[in-house]
């Protein structure tokens, strides 16, 4: 073996060929740090000339400011392989990664130092740009909101909400009809206002109409307006309708799922023609608005049940946006809680703070009322807690009973047949899923069972409730 090894003696030409075959830069020094050889890859990388480097000492490059630190000097002191990052000032400033390895003689003295050099400039640049992009991504929408003068406050730490805001901003620039769907309290009106204020109609009115909040007997007159004498009790001079007030601006129809089916045809006519006719007046008036609607129950399911016109559904559902419930975007819970804490501290001239242990309970809770419930909870804690520090003991029982690993809680107060318990739990879960999603299809997807099973079990749950 030793005989074979002794035959592996390279000529200078062979050694140079090996050095030049490397993709990385390579240089060799003697035991004192004097350059003996350097390949063309390293010369090209740094802009140095070979005749200016050979014979000089690596340590001197630090003194002249060519490099910021000498790896050769480190290897001479420690007599071991070392890897460091260096800055090299040649024709341009390069960021390099150098691995230097000492070659020892039989007495343990350094005979040569072989250094491998890799150009990291582009990689570091890309890494810095990536970090900048990530940082800008976090700041982009808050700065955009400030620049465009958004009057509301949107907390979007979760990826889910960031994607929604990105889509909402793009949609704000066009007039496509938008349908915001999601549970009650998820912030649909806040997103609707964001769309309005980020778009070209921001200086015009934003008219919000809660379709569930106006009695059906008054809704037609409120929406479409009326002329004087149109009906008994009509105001002198008539009245502009809410839809007409949205002219040139944005009409937000909140809880559209509650819109009476008897008026849906008239609303559809307005959306198709952009003309409105007041009660008691025959001549229609041209209006120009963009529509944003919301629903806390699945409109598609209502269409199947004959409670919502299919043609109106397709008219308002040009671009759907689903706002996930708070329990599905847990990264927003703590930032929202702190935001509401600051808001109510200012409102009530208080100085309350949340203990660190309280956060796990807030994140573990299911939040059936979503952001609205979170806001009300923080307000209650601020006004009802005597101490300035709000702790676990100040939370309602339903929060304490939750843990970060529990998605449900079963309380059994007596020994009952196991089948009775499982049947009861199943019926409650089916009912909860239908209340949350409003459609058998979405409930089936969440429960991971068939839609026909949901229909059958939900019917059974309703029959038991009515019994």
Question: For 253-281, how does the pLDDT look when each residue is reduced to its tens digit (9 = 90+)?
Answer: 999 999 999 999 999 999 999 999 888 77
Check pLDDT > 90 for residue 201. Answer: yes
Check pLDDT > 70 for residue 465. Answer: no
Return the DSSP state at 201. Answer: T
Topology (CATH level 3) of domain 150-322: Rossmann fold (3.40.50)
Interval 412-440: pLDDT, tens: 556 778 887 788 888 888 887 887 777 78
Check pLDDT > 80 for residue 379. Answer: yes
Check pLDDT > 50 for residue 177. Answer: yes
Beta bridge partners of 408: none
Check pLDDT > 70 for residue 151. Answer: no
Residue 125 sits at the vertex; the CA angle it makes with 119 and 126, to the nearest 5 degrees, is 105
Residue 224 CA neighbour count, 13 Å, CB half:
29
% of the chain at pLDDT higher than 90? 36
Phi, psi of 354 (to 5 degrees): -100, 130
Distance CA 40, CA 21 (A): 10
Question: What integer pLDDT is reported at residue 306 of this predicted model?
Answer: 93
pLDDT band at 218 (very low <50, low <70, confident <90, very high): confident
Q: Which of the two residues, 47 and 287, has the higher pLDDT score?
A: 287
Distance CA 161, CA 370 (A): 14
Q: Which residues of 413-446 are buried (b: 16+ CB within 10 A; e: fewer)?
A: eeeeeeeeeeeeeebebbbbbbebbbbbebbbee
Helices and strands in the chain: count of H runs, count of E runs = 21, 14
Distance CA 455, CA 435 (A): 13
Q: Which of 10, 5, 48 is nearest to 27 (CA)?
A: 48
Residue 162 sits at the vertex; the CA angle it makes with 161 and 168, to the nearest 5 degrees, is 85
Distance CA 345, CA 349 (A): 5
Question: What integer pLDDT is reported at residue 381 of this predicted model?
Answer: 94
What is the CATH architecture assignment of 328-400?
Orthogonal Bundle (1.10)
Pick the range with the lowest mean pLDDT from 142-156, 160-174, 435-449. 142-156
Question: What integer pLDDT is reported at residue 85 of this predicted model?
Answer: 83
Question: What integer pLDDT is reported at residue 402 of this predicted model?
Answer: 60
Mean predicted lDDT score pLDDT of the chain: 83
CATH of domain 2-119: 3.30.450.20
Q: Which of 321, 379, 309, 378 is nearest to 163 (CA)?
A: 321
- Here the tokens at position 301 are 């399911």
Question: What integer pLDDT is reported at residue 230 of this predicted model?
Answer: 63
Check pLDDT > 70 for residue 205. Answer: yes
Residue 261 sits at the vertex; the CA angle it makes with 258 and 264, to the nearest 5 degrees, is 95
Distance CA 15, CA 11 (A): 6
Q: Which of 176, 13, 27 is nearest to 116 (CA)?
A: 27
Q: Which of 221, 183, 446 is nearest to 325 (CA)?
A: 183
């Amino acid at each position: 073996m030793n005989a074979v090894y002794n035959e592996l003696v390279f000529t200078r030409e062979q050694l140079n060929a090996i050095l030049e075959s490397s993709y990385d830069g390579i240089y060799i020094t003697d035991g004192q740090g004097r350059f003996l050889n350097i390949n063309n890859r390293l010369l090209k990388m740094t802009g140095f000339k070979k005749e200016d480097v050979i014979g000089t000492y690596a340590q001197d490059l630090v003194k002249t400011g060519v490099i910021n630190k000498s790896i050769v000097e480190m290897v001479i002191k420690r007599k071991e392989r070392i890897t460091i990052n260096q800055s090299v000032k040649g024709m341009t400033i390069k960021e390099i990664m150098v691995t230097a390895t000492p070659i020892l003689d039989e007495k343990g003295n350094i005979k040569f130092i072989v250094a491998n050099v890799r150009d990291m400039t582009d990689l570091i640049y890309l890494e810095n740009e990536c970090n900048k992009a990530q940082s800008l991504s976090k700041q982009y929408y808050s700065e955009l909101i400030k620049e465009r003068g958004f009057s509301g406050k949107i907390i979007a730490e979760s990826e889910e909400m960031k994607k929604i805001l990105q889509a909402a901003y793009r949609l704000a620039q066009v007039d496509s009809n938008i349908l915001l769907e999601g549970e009650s309290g998820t912030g649909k009106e806040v997103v609707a206002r964001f769309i309005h204020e980020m778009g070209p109609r921001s200086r015009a009115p934003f008219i919000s109409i809660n379709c569930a909040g106006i009695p059906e007997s008054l809704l037609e007159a409120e929406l479409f307006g009326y002329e004087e004498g149109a009906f008994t009790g009509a105001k002198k001079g008539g009245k502009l309708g809410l839809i007409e007030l949205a002219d040139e601006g944005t009409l937000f129809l909140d809880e559209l799922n509650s819109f009476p089916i008897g008026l849906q045809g008239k609303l559809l006519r307005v959306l198709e023609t952009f003309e409105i006719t007041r009660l008691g007046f025959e001549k229609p008036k041209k209006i120009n608005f963009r529509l944003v609607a919301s629903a806390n129950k699945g409109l598609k399911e209502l269409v199947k049940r004959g409670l919502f016109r299919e043609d109106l559904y397709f008219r308002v559902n040009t671009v759907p946006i689903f706002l996930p419930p708070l329990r599905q975007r847990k990264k927003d819970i703590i930032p929202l809680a702190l935001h509401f804490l600051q808001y109510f501290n200012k409102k009530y001239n208080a100085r309350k703070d949340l203990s660190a242990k309280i956060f796990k309970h807030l994140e573990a809770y299911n939040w059936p009322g979503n952001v609205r419930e979170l806001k009300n909870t923080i307000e209650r804690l601020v006004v009802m807690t005597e101490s300035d520090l709000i702790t676990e003991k100040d939370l309602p029982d339903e929060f304490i009973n939750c843990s970060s690993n529990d998605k449900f809680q079963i309380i059994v107060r007596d020994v009952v047949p196991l089948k009775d318990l499982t049947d009861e739990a199943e019926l409650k879960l089916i009912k909860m899923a239908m209340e949350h999603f409003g459609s058998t299809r979405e409930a089936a997807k969440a429960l991971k069972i068939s839609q026909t099973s949901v229909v059958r079990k939900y019917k059974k749950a309703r029959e038991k409730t009515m019994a």
